[in-house]
Amino acid sequence: MAEVSGKKWVLMVTAQTPTNIAVIKYWGKRDEKLILPINDSISVTLDPSHLCTTTTVAVSPDFTHDRMWLNGKEIPLSGGRYQNCLRELRARASEVEDEEKSSSAAGFACLVFSLAKPKNVKEDQSKLSSIARQGSGSACRSLYGGFVKWIMGKEKNGSDSVAVQLADEKHWNDLVIIIAVVSLRQNETSSTSGMLETVETSMLIQHRAKEVVPKRIIQMEEAIKNRGFPSFARLSCADSNQFHAVCLDTSPPIFYMNDTSHRIISCVEKWNRFEGTPQVAYTFDAGPKAVLISHNRKTAALLLQRLLFHFPPNSDTDLNSYW
C-alpha cells in the first residue's frame, strides 16, 4: 500500500451476500436505533449461487464523498442506518490499519482488504454481523451459511445481540426451497414501520416474544440438529402464521398475505394432512410471496407439479421468465 500512496488509485472489491429466510421470525425491536430485537430468531441461508446480493465497493483518495447505487440508481446516503454502518466500517478500517501499522493508505482500502481476506475469521464475522445488524436487523443472519440464530441479547449497548451459526450448509443439504413470487407489487408497510406499530399497539406480540418464541427456539434448534423434518415444518408454519396473526393484531391491522398466499397455505396444509406427515413447510415474510421448503428433491418436484396445477401460467407467458 505504501507504493500506491501519493499516486492516483482506485481499489475495487465485489462481494456476494446470500439471502436468509427466517423460520422463527424476528418482529419487534426493543431499541430502534441500535436495532435490538425482542426475541431470538432462526433462519436458513439460501445457496448464494442461486440467490444473492452483489455489491461492489470502490475506494480512492480522489473520491470526495460517499455515494451508493442500488440496481443502477443512485440513492441518498443521508439515512441514519447507512450513516451508522459507514461509521462502524470506518472505525473497523482504522483498527485494521493501526494493527497492520500501515502507511497513509485510506482506512477504507484496508477495510476492503480485510473483508476480502479476513485474518481472524471468527472475530471478523461477529463484528461484521453486528455492523450488518445496524443496517437491517435480519441482515446480520446472512453472514453465515446453513442455519443461523440471531440471539436477542440482554445488554443495553447491543454487544451480546449477535448472530451465531447453528449448523453449516452441509448439515441438511437435501432441503429444497421454492420461492413462489405471488405479486411484484411493493409492500405497503415496510418491515421497519410495521414492527414498530405492532410493538406499540399489539398485546399478542408480548405473549409471542415472552412465552411462545423462547420455547419454539429450543424445539427448532433440536429439529435442525436431528434433521427432523416434521417438527421443522410444523414449527416453521406455526411461526409464520403467528407472525401474520400479530400483524393482524396491530392497529391499524397490517395485511402482508393476499388471497393467493392463503390458497398456497391451504394447498400445502391439505397435502401434508393427506400424507399424514409434513412434506413441505411454508413461511411468509412482510409480503405475499411464499417460501416453500421441501424435504428433498422428490417432494420439491411434486410441489412444483401442484403449484402449476393450481396456478397455471397464462397461455402467453414465456416459460423461461415464469421459472
| 172-201 positions binding ligand DP6, by CB under 6 A | 191-192
- Taking contact as CB under 6 A, which single stretch among the options 19-27, 71-79, 160-168, 313-321 is the one that binds ligand DP6? 19-27
Torsions phi, psi for 294 (to 5 deg):
-105, 155
Task: State the nearest-atom distance from the C-beta of 199 to ligand DP6, in Å.
Answer: 11
Nearest to ligand DP6 of 85, 286 (CB atom): 286
Can residue 241 be called a binding residue for ligand DP6 (CB under 6 A)? no
Site membership for ligand DP6, residue 18 (CB under 6 A): no
Output 191 or 260, the one with its CB closest to ligand DP6: 191
Residue 25 found at the interface with ligand DP6 (CB under 6 A): yes
The CA distance from 19 to 233, in Å, is: 20
Rounded least distance, CB 243 to ligand DP6, Å: 6
Options 7-15, 21-29, 123-131, 303-311: segment touching ligand DP6 (CB under 6 A): 21-29
The single residue among 265, 286, 293, 300 that binds ligand DP6, judged by CB under 6 A, is 286
Nearer to ligand DP6, 189 or 191 (CB): 191
CB of 35 to ligand DP6, least distance (A): 5
In the complex, minimum distance from the CB of residue 285 to ligand DP6, in angstroms, rounded to a whole number: 4
Site for ligand DP6 in 123-142 (CB under 6 A): 136-138
Q: CB of 286: closest distance to ligand DP6 in angstroms?
A: 5
CA distances from 115 to 93, 120, 213 (A): 10, 11, 34
Inter-residue contact 173 to 49 (CB < 8 Å): no
CB of 143 to ligand DP6, least distance (A): 14
Among 132, 161, 285, 299, binds ligand DP6 (CB under 6 A): 285
88 contacts ligand DP6 (rule: CB under 6 A):
no
Distance CA 187, CA 135 (A): 19
Work out which of 34, 36, 40, 41 binds ligand DP6, going by CB under 6 A: 41
Burial of residue 153, with CB atoms counted within 10 A of its CB: 0-12 exposed, 13-18 middle, 19 or more buried: middle
Binding residues (CB under 6 A) for ligand DP6: these are 22, 25-27, 35, 41, 136-138, 191-192, 285-286
